[in-house]
A and B are shown apart, each in its own frame.
Chain A
Amino acid sequence: MRWDFIDEYEAWALKISLGLVLVFFVAVIGIAVLKGIDVPTCVTDFKPFDKGELVQIGPREYQLKLLGRMWAFQPNEVVVPVGSKVTIYTTSIDVQHGFEIEGKAVNLMTIPGAVNKAEVVFNRPGEYRFVCNEFCGIGHQSMYGVIKVLPEAEYEKWKQEHGM
């Protein structure tokens, strides 16, 4: 291909721009691969559900089936011990919702007719707010919940108090 219709400086601007975006892209994908911080992918082995719940599936391993509905999450309070790995599956039984955990790279669209998935590890105790971030009707602004990550001892106490 002939490039002589643009001048030397323009050709340089083109090369620098291309180089810049390539560096960005490699950095972003590199982190996705090396650190495992990735975006959700296509889930085919989990069918949409109509009841939300937290299920323990191993030591410090949980499966959170999170249901979006107008205008509350089910469940809207989740309690786990520190160090837990939680696999979140989410869907909706009515309209589209969003599910985003404050301070974590978890941001999922909650969509009827589809299941979305993310994995998250809670290494620090604390209260993690999660909110609905897609307009879902007139009550949207009050749709939120909290994940309570408790230190080991407190978690045991909480379990006893709740008869679990």
Chain B
Amino acid sequence: MKIERYLRNITFWHMMIGILSMATGVTYGLFQVLARAGIYDYGIFTYGTKLYYQGLTLHGVLNAIVFTTFFIVGFLYIVTEVSLKRKLNRGLVYLSFWTMVVGTLLAAWAIFTNRATVLYTFYPPLQAHPAFYIGATLLIVGSWIAILNTVITHLKWRKENPGKLTPPPMVAVHATYAVWFLATLGVAIEVLFFLIPWSMGWVKSINPELARTLFWWFGHPLVYFWLLPAYLAWYFLLPRIAGGKLYSEPMARVVFIMFILFSLPVGTHHQFSDPGISNTWKAVQAFLTFMVAVPSLLTAFNLAASLEYAGRVRGGNGLFGWIKTLPWRDYRFAGMVGPMIVFIFGGISGIVNASYNVNQVVHNTSWIPGHFHMTVGTASAMTFLTLSYILMEKLFGKRPWSKKLATLHAYLWVVGVLIFAWGMMQLGRAGIPRRTHLGLSPYMNLEEKILMGIAAVGGVLMFTSFLIYFINFLVTVFKKPDVSEAEIEKVDLEFTDAYHKENENLPRYLDNFTIWLAIAVFLLIVTYGPIFYDVFRSTYAVPNAFSPFNPLNLIK
């Protein structure tokens, strides 16, 4: 199918803004591990500790919000056009892009000038410059425009193709956007009704616990927004790259629908340690959090079966023989299966976090960044970087400058992140907090310093791996295409075939997204209703606003 030049270019810019953000973000990541290990204390910068937390804000915002959002929106445009074979609305694509860019620039200005050193969770009463909140809002609104565009395109496709099932990759696109839209409603309420009026000085007080609750309504589903596009790639691109087929299409669909249902009513598992919410409702959300582990377990089954199939097609036999015959040297395979393997550990450590009272041992300790660098930091981020190579090839006919370096980058990251996460998680079990410039902490003992040193080794390897990727990617961008212009025109993502394909047997309700959205909203209301009731009856708004640099209240 022919994808217009404009869309290929704009997708490139989505990708490029994401990757440049990440390059900046991981540079601060390197500084963080070094500072926490007491090796390097921002000597060449004069800000001292200010820079640690300013850098950490940049690290969180650029890696986890800007990189992911831009990359995902760009990637899903291509998936939408290729799988539906239908054009998106060009005007909306531009509108969305520029809204997101302006938002990002506003927020970036505030952070870089040290006016928003509040970390990416921006908990009040720490107060940032209004530009930070307005920028974040615009970034989100921009992504909503992309959702609108996608939904309109799908509805038109429905009209033109009566009775046809939505193609499975498109189901994944919808799941991603459904989760994102419902999630961002929470943070939009927080920012528009509370944070912006308060940071502009129009209102004097703020209820910090209410703000937290609204934030985590958004904060957990956010992780599925990061993860589902990676799942999309693992389900619908990887099996073919491995030389086989997806084991089951209907199962993939069930999985994505389960994510629409259970991604949202679980945000309170980030608030097990909070006041103002009764433990009954915390337990209910703990239960639903376990439910949302189910689709991930099913994914493990389906993908393992797909890879086994591929391995056997390639001549592997016996119980484990198929593993050996898989294309481990292929950069696309390494760059997706590597993150998948790391994600197993990410998932297991996540079950620990989700386990209600067990969470008391790890909440806000270094365990948590240990955990999520294996999820968003690897499963999502590394899969996206692999996709960036694939997109350069599909959209511009440019194969990676060096496939060997691309493979090396994938494995080096896996080794680095496992060391990093191990160190951080041990540190967390010792009770050492996260979000802390440990190099300056008076309470670290020798054993803890050594553990942080080990984590730092992992961090340096991760950074090295990123550097290899970055150079390889830039050279790829600037090199000449490997195929003719006519060849490039016919963009095809080469979605995989399936072993169990969907057929007319599939119950129609599985292709009706309105039903699932309605149930998701229902679950959201039922689980969050009592929580907001608790928050309102037991917490108060306070006349507080603070700069992170000064313990004096800004509100007189």
Chain A interfacial residues counted at CB < 8 A: 69
Contacts of A136 in B (CB 8 A): 126, 548
Contacts of A156 in B (CB 8 A): none
Interface string of A22-62 (1 = CB under 8 A from B): 10110011011000011111111000100000000000000
Q: Is the CB–CB distance between A138 and B549 below 8 Å?
A: yes
* Shortest distance from the beta carbon of A147 to any chain B beta carbon, whole Å: 13
Task: Choose from B294, B436, B544 the contact partner of A21 (Cβ within 8 Å).
Answer: B294
- A107 interface contact, C-beta 8 A: yes
- B197 interface contact, C-beta 8 A: no
Q: How far is the CA of A9 from the CA of B298 in the complex (A)?
A: 11
Q: How far is the CA of A27 from the CA of B544 in the complex (A)?
A: 41
- Known contacts being A114-B538, A138-B548, is A5 close to B250, with CB within 8 Å? yes
Q: Is the CB–CB distance between A106 and B360 below 8 Å?
A: yes
- Known contacts being A96-B208, A98-B364, A137-B549, is A114 close to B351, with CB within 8 Å? no
Interface string of B139-150 (1 = CB under 8 A from A): 000000000000
Interface string of B351-368 (1 = CB under 8 A from A): 100011111110111000
* Shortest distance from the beta carbon of B294 to any chain A beta carbon, whole Å: 5
Q: Is the CB–CB distance between B437 and A42 below 8 Å?
A: no
Task: Choose from A20, A40, A102, A139 the contact partner of B275 (Cβ within 8 Å).
Answer: A40
* Shortest distance from the beta carbon of B101 to any chain A beta carbon, whole Å: 28
Task: Choose from B274, B301, B355 the contact partner of A111 (Cβ within 8 Å).
Answer: B274
Q: Is the CB–CB distance between A114 and B549 below 8 Å?
A: no
Q: How far is the CA of A113 from the CA of B210 in the complex (A)?
A: 10
Q: Closest residue to B305 on the A side, CB-wise? A: A9
Interface string of A9-27 (1 = CB under 8 A from B): 1100110111011101100
Q: Is the CB–CB distance between B357 and A6 below 8 Å?
A: no
Q: How far is the CA of A129 from the CA of B130 in the complex (A)?
A: 38
Q: Is the CB–CB distance between A41 and B125 below 8 Å?
A: no
Contacts of B248 in A (CB 8 A): 6-7, 10
* Shortest distance from the beta carbon of A52 to any chain B beta carbon, whole Å: 16
- A148 interface contact, C-beta 8 A: no
Task: Choose from A38, A98, A106 the contact partner of B279 (Cβ within 8 Å).
Answer: A38
Q: Is the CB–CB distance between A100 and B363 below 8 Å?
A: yes
- A64 interface contact, C-beta 8 A: no
Given pairs A18-B294, A37-B357, A111-B208, 9 additional interface contacts (CB within 8 A): A5-B250, A17-B298, A25-B286, A113-B208, A114-B208, A115-B538, A138-B50, A139-B551, A142-B442
Top 9 A-B residue pairs of the complex, sorted by shortest distance between their CB atoms: A133-B433, A116-B275, A70-B551, A17-B297, A133-B364, A137-B548, A21-B290, A102-B431, A13-B301
Residues on A facing B (Cβ under 8 Å)? 1-2, 4-7, 9-10, 13-14, 16-18, 20-22, 24-25, 28-29, 31-32, 37-44, 48, 69-71, 91, 94-96, 98, 100-103, 105-109, 111-117, 129, 131-142, 144
